[in-house]
Amino acid sequence: MADMGESGGGHEGKGKKRAKKSSTRIDMTPMVDLGFLLLTFFVMTSTFSKPKVMSLVYPAKIEDPTPPDQPKINNAITFLLSEDKIYYYAGQYYSKGNKEGKPATELEETTFGPNGLRKLLADRNAYVIRKKEGLDEKLKKKQIQDTTYERTLIDYKKHKEALKVLVKTDDKATCKNFIDLIDELKIAQIGVIAPVDLLASELELIKAKK
Q: Are 138 and 42 in contact (CB under 8 A)?
A: no
- Please choose, out of 29-37, 90-98, 125-133, 154-162, the segment that lies near other proteins by the rule CB under 8 A: 29-37
* Contact status: 207 vs other proteins (CB under 8 A): no
* Contact status: 31 vs other proteins (CB under 8 A): yes
- Please choose, out of 4-12, 68-76, 105-113, 135-143, the segment that lies near other proteins by the rule CB under 8 A: 4-12
3-state secondary structure of 187: helix
Of 47, 66, 115, 147, the one binding other proteins by CB under 8 A: 47
Q: Give kind and range of the element (H or E) at residue 29.
A: helix 29-45
User: What is the pairing mode between strands 76-82 and 108-110?
Assistant: unpaired
Q: Are 109 and 209 in contact (CB under 8 A)?
A: yes
Of 177, 189, 190, 202, the one binding other proteins by CB under 8 A: 177
C-beta of 100 vs 171, nearer to other proteins: 171
Name the minimum Å distance from CB 96 to other proteins.
Answer: 26
Reading across the β-sheet that carries 192-195, which strands appear in turn?
A: 108-110, 85-90, 76-82, 164-169, 192-195
Q: How far apart are CA 185 and CA 195, in angstroms?
A: 12
Q: How far apart are CA 72 and CA 24, in angstroms?
A: 86
C-beta of 162 vs 198, nearer to other proteins: 198
Give the binding site for other proteins (CB under 8 A): 1-4, 7, 9, 12, 28-29, 31-32, 35-36, 38-39, 42-43, 45-47, 49-61, 81, 114, 118, 169, 171-180, 182-183, 186-187, 195
